[in-house]
């Protein structure tokens, strides 16, 4: 499900959303702070509860129409500036690990993704792309607000950038190549957590298409080997695997 066929920098390109999803930790509550077309949201496995937020009312209308078309309650929408969203009392309290309710949501295992319109001077073509652009000061305010969250896991997208590197010093980063309308671009994600080993979605593990296909074959072959075993032996192996690794998987 996607609200737009085409949308500037929506993270929908092949090789882009996979890198993002491979760095998204397991979570129950997902907050998309600056939605746009959000390739991450419509390619990743569902969360128990999701807020889709964007400052542009037209964007939110598109997501609402999508809900109506598919008759789904997969997410709720919010039409706020991301800074206002992050500094609302209900959201801000996530940083204190308080159980609260906002838009009928109980916040648990929170993951927040923010993809502000990139700084104008970081773009190859310095031209307006969105109805609501984000000035340098606004970027700084959003980053400072994100730094105050202690327990929510936050991922932020941008081009490699001195302002982001400085304000988010100490955050973990991951660089990758992304195909844009103007060719390959160097992208960077900033995370206030270490690269997770327990992912929300394992569908795209691997650094590129060739590696993803190779790992997919490994998983398929392992399943086939189990299927060929005598049932009692197969069940014995599965029981032992569950026993030895259940503690790790329960973190999801």
What CATH number does residue 128 fall under? 3.40.50.150
pLDDT at site 193: 95
Q: Looking at the structure, do residues 173 and 143 belong to the same domain, yes or no? A: yes
**Is 96 contained in some domain?**
yes
Structure tokens at 237: 């192996």
Q: Looking at the structure, do residues 141 and 90 belong to the same domain, yes or no? A: yes
Q: Looking at the structure, do residues 131 and 243 belong to the same domain, yes or no? A: no
Q: Looking at the structure, do residues 121 and 237 belong to the same domain, yes or no? A: no
pLDDT at site 65: 92
- pTM of the predicted model, to two decimals? 0.87
- Cα 107 to Cα 97: distance, rounded to the nearest angstrom: 9
Each residue's pLDDT tens digit, 59-117: 999 999 988 888 888 899 999 999 999 988 667 666 554 445 566 666 778 999 999 99
**Is 8 contained in some domain?**
no
- From 191, 218, 239, the end of a domain falls on 191
Q: Looking at the structure, do residues 215 and 175 belong to the same domain, yes or no? A: no
**Is 87 contained in some domain?**
yes
Each residue's pLDDT tens digit, 112-171: 999 999 988 877 777 787 788 889 999 999 999 999 888 899 999 999 999 999 999 999
pLDDT at site 93: 64
Structure tokens at 78: 């919010």
Q: What is the pLDDT averaged over residues 11-29? A: 90
pLDDT at site 241: 87
When mean pLDDT is compared across 14-23, 105-114, 213-222, the lowest value belongs to: 105-114
When mean pLDDT is compared across 2-6, 145-149, 213-217, the lowest value belongs to: 2-6
**Is 28 contained in some domain?**
yes
**Do the beta carbons of residue 55 and residue 32 sit within 8 Å?**
no
251 has a pLDDT exceeding 80: no
Q: Looking at the structure, do residues 139 and 218 belong to the same domain, yes or no? A: no
Q: Looking at the structure, do residues 128 and 169 belong to the same domain, yes or no? A: yes
- Residue 104 Rama label (left phi>0; alpha psi -120 to 50; beta): left
213 has a pLDDT exceeding 80: yes
1: nearest Cα among 56, 58, 73, 85: 73
**Is 22 contained in some domain?**
yes
Q: Looking at the structure, do residues 240 and 132 belong to the same domain, yes or no? A: no
Number of domains forming the structure of the chain: 2
Q: Looking at the structure, do residues 118 and 164 belong to the same domain, yes or no? A: yes
**Is 141 contained in some domain?**
yes
What's the CA dihedral at 200, 202, 203, 205 to 10 degrees? 130
**Is 198 contained in some domain?**
no
Q: Looking at the structure, do residues 127 and 232 belong to the same domain, yes or no? A: no
Burial class (CB within 10 angstroms; exposed 0-12, middle 13-18, buried 19+) of 222: exposed
Each residue's pLDDT tens digit, 165-199: 999 999 999 999 887 666 678 899 999 999 998 99
Q: Looking at the structure, do residues 67 and 139 belong to the same domain, yes or no? A: yes
Q: Looking at the structure, do residues 177 and 239 belong to the same domain, yes or no? A: no
Using 50, 70 and 90 to split pLDDT, how confident is the model at 207? Answer: confident
**Is 120 contained in some domain?**
yes
Structure tokens at 111: 């993951």
**Which domain, by its residues, includes 227?**
209-249
- Cα 30 to Cα 24: distance, rounded to the nearest angstrom: 10
127: nearest Cα among 136, 114, 117, 138: 117
């Amino acid at each position: 499900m996607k609200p737009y066929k085409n949308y500037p920098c929506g993270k929908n390109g092949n090789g882009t959303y996979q890198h993002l999803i491979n760095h998204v930790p397991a979570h129950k509550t997902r907050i998309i702070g600056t939605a746009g077309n959000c390739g991450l949201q419509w390619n990743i496995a569902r969360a128990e509860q999701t807020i889709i937020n964007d400052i542009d009312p037209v964007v939110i209308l598109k997501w609402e129409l999508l809900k109506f078309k598919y008759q789904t309650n997969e997410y709720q929408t919010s039409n706020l500036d991301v800074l206002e969203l992050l500094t609302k009392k209900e959201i801000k309290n996530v940083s204190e690990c308080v159980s609260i309710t906002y838009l009928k949501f109980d916040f648990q295992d929170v993951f927040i993704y923010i993809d502000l319109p990139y700084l104008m001077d970081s773009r190859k073509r310095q031209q307006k792309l969105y109805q609501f652009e984000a000035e340098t000061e606004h970027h700084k305010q959003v980053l400072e607000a994100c730094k105050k969250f202690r327990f929510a896991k936050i991922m932020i997208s941008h081009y490699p950038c001195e302002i982001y590197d400085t304000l988010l010093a100490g955050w973990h980063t991951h660089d990758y190549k992304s195909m844009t309308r103007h060719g390959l671009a160097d992208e960077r994600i900033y995370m206030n957590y270490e690269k997770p080993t327990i992912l929300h979605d394992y569908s795209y593990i691997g650094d590129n298409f060739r590696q993803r296909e190779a790992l997919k074959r490994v998983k398929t072959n392992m399943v086939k080997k189990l299927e060929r075993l005598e049932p009692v032996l197969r069940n014995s192996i599965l029981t032992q695997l569950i026993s030895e690794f259940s503690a790790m998987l329960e973190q999801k």
